[in-house]
Structure 1
């Protein structure tokens, strides 16, 4: 169900907005609209321009809360504004004392890490680097060279060049090493290495000992800095833990103040004239019940004015949609939101989906044992984790259990329970003009016809609510379509039961007349709405287009109806799959392998349960929703969510 909404305009002195938000609006759920957009016809309005003074403090408070050992999400109370601000400022000051030290340590950490990355490729160079730096008659170059050039260097150049190359390390791309060259030959040899794309690396003159010794010292220094950083963090953490209660209360207070202050973004202000007082204007939506309570709450407040708009013509935007369904059906709102929320003047299909989804799932997955597992497992998961999908599984499991008794199936065993209705694999019936067919197929198609008729009725209701005569009366799913498809269902029922057919004139009226109405729905709608140009100018093209559209309509009726055969097909396939499981377990011999039985049930329950769940959702969306539901609504989003017990 969709809650009935009321549009409110709230006005008062500009300086009084904080009191109004904190004292009144924070107690109700109100979906605020941009007042400047809603009041376009009102002259000389300007935005409410002020910077939120609590935003920065709230960000700092949230940062501190995230550093607590066990952050909490539930309400822990609040405190007055001054105390909250003072608390966060004190904690910020304490943290700032360590921030300078942490910044210095972090900078040094980056420098040491950079040095480590430079020196690590040369670990195999087992010479004192500092002594190498002191060579006078021999030049040295640290660097890397790509494999393809290194191979050419070894094959064509190395033996003919006055140089020694010491290979230190290599990976998939490069060879790292050091080459030495006489100082007198350095320019020529450097040019040769450069032609081979040798990338020189400048090693800082700060290492003593071998590269291995230098790396060891660097790692020790890095570990020491890491420990100092941890100690700084630990000191701040101890302080935050000691003020845990105050911090959480301050955060809650600042969060409330910041949210309330942000209401200004959607408010408009009147311009001051002749030193007169400036007023703010807030516009938004409340549920009818909350709007009545709000009016009673403010009736004695002389500084606050509230107007409820009853004339829909004065409202620019359609009301937001707030769903309100019984607790049992509420989890199924998830499927509605996936498709799109209903518009304010649409039917909320949540209850319809909850009943049909669970019923069809049960018919397709009829097993008393596996259904009980889904029922209990889904219920426990929803109770402790509050997962909507788990509640849907539990409801579907309930109907699976019922159909399991109707089919006489218990964990795949067909001889444990007596079938209260029929066995899906064995029960057949004779259909006129066709012959013998599985009974569940016939029942599934019949049930699908019934659901399509219900969807058409809901489409007509939506068309009437939207004041759309074409959709309500002349559309494929409107009254014309309902009469035609209803006539088809009635004729099929008469044939199946061997009853007499209606007179030819009745059949013509029931079949031909609705199709003609559907074909001429646009001209008829224009005629009803008293519009000009009832018939299109290109009448020949209109006739051709109409013929093809009628063919498509008839094809869609047929395909949508036949699509429900899958309900019976899955009922039969479930029994067949479990028969295979029991065969593999050796149940026919009288002593089944229970491990195979258990694993087979788990596999079938998981795999087929998932597939059936998807297939039922497909039936809901494509065969039913497509006939009556648009899902173009916008969600009711209050600036502050009120938790209701």
Structure 2
């Protein structure tokens, strides 16, 4: 029933190592870094790193691209790194490709049944259908009664394929020669067809081509963006890059082992050695009082050097609310 004791940890690294230090700090939830502004003074002559996060802008651009074509961006494991110029060139490329898909989506408002029918037409190849020189294609949904009338037409200058049907409609694909295209379209209109435009490009096919790399680039940008957010905690003193923060006393050795294999130095000290820094307050209580930490956090955590009020809150909370309820069972329990 107390406030968790903290250690002040300062990591010293060279110019070629501090990026790796940041990568490992990102994965450590126990580390509470201090802003560089709190560590810079006249004695050390340190300076803060430029923390402009261009990767955050890349993330927003990639999210907008995905939203325009109905693809949800999700960050996964980072498989490789990308240069900024490489990312910008890729974003430009997919923007140009996906602009065509986005335009198609805006022109077409399709139901689930429309999508089922369109999926069957996709197997023929949208681009190939539009490139035909002597044959024209059309697609749409006919009322079920109108579909029955197609068999009664004596002179058929077209062929029809049934794609899908529901209780009220039948979705069809029809084809005719360019000679009879106007005549056939009038015939279909007389049967009350609701035309569904056949896309000129296969957006799904294009999306499949880029989906894997989109995820790779997005994952790298998300990961690198998190690292760039830590730049504001790094102090550069000549060739020494310092990152300071607080870790729970019990986790201090584990934090030091986090940098095994790197040519860095980790100094551990008591919080009192840096009076300008205020350690974070973490509560640690027995299982009986632990649920009442929520109320302490809600109204404001105490200072690191103060007492933990959780046990007092637990007792008074039960007593006061027991009195307010005036319930026989709760009263007897208390």
Give the conservation status (yes or no) of the 8 Å contact 1:10–1:283: yes
Are 1:344 and 2:304 matched, yes or no?
A: yes
Q: Any stretches of 5+ residues in structure 1 without a counterpart? A: 107-226, 272-277, 369-400, 407-419, 422-645
- Where relative contact order (Cα < 8 A, 6+ residues apart) is larger, the structure is 2
**1:284 corresponds to which of 242, 245, 252:** 245
Give the conservation status (yes or no) of the 8 Å contact 2:5–2:248: yes
Q: Distance in 2 between matches of 1:335 and 1:13?
A: 44
1:326–1:246 distance in 2 versus 1, CA, 3 Å: farther
- Number of aligned residues: 241
Q: Tell me the equivalent position of 1:503.
A: none
Q: Tell me the equivalent position of 1:33.
A: 34
Deviations 1:153-183 (A, max 9, x none): xxxxxxxxxxxxxxxxxxxxxxxxxxxxxxx
C-alpha root-mean-square deviation of aligned residues, in Å?
A: 4.3
Q: Distance in 1 between matches of 2:44 and 2:233?
A: 17
Deviations 1:517-566 (A, max 9, x none): xxxxxxxxxxxxxxxxxxxxxxxxxxxxxxxxxxxxxxxxxxxxxxxxxx
1:245–1:300 distance in 2 versus 1, CA, 3 Å: closer
Q: As a proportion of its length, which structure holds more helix?
A: 1
Deviations 1:284-316 (A, max 9, x none): 111112222122343664x20111122614331
Q: Tell me the equivalent position of 2:172.
A: none
Are 1:97 and 2:97 matched, yes or no?
A: yes
Q: As a proportion of its length, which structure holds more strand?
A: 2
Q: Distance in 2 between matches of 1:72 and 1:366?
A: 54
Give the conservation status (yes or no) of the 8 Å contact 1:4–1:288: yes
TM-score by length of 2: 0.56
Q: Tell me the equivalent position of 2:259.
A: 298
1:335–1:87 distance in 2 versus 1, CA, 3 Å: same
Deviations 1:325-347 (A, max 9, x none): 45665554343233221110122
Q: Distance in 1 between matches of 2:34 and 2:293?
A: 25
Give the conservation status (yes or no) of the 8 Å contact 2:53–2:229: yes
How far apart are residue 364 of structure 1 and its match?
A: 2.4
How far apart are residue 280 of structure 1 and its match?
A: 0.9
Q: Which has the larger radius of gyration?
A: 1
> What secondary structure sits across from 2:50 in the alignment?
coil
Q: Any stretches of 5+ residues in structure 2 without a counterpart? A: 107-195
> What secondary structure sits across from 1:15 in the alignment?
coil
Q: Tell me the equivalent position of 1:354.
A: 314
1:92–1:321 distance in 2 versus 1, CA, 3 Å: farther
Q: Tell me the equivalent position of 2:22.
A: 21
> What secondary structure sits across from 2:10 in the alignment?
strand
Q: How does 1:623-638 map to 2 (within 5 A)?
A: none
Q: Tell me the equivalent position of 1:268.
A: 235
Are 1:11 and 2:12 matched, yes or no?
A: yes
Are 1:402 and 2:330 matched, yes or no?
A: yes
Give the conservation status (yes or no) of the 8 Å contact 1:332–1:354: yes
Q: How does 1:76-475 map to 2 (within 5 A)?
A: 77-82=76-81, 90=90, 93-99=93-99, 247=214, 250-271=217-238, 278-298=239-259, 301=262, 303-310=263-270, 312-325=272-285, 329-367=289-327, 402-403=330-331, 406=332
How far apart are residue 349 of structure 1 and its match?
A: 2.1
How far apart are residue 265 of structure 1 and its match?
A: 1.8
TM-score by length of 1: 0.32
Deviations 1:600-621 (A, max 9, x none): xxxxxxxxxxxxxxxxxxxxxx
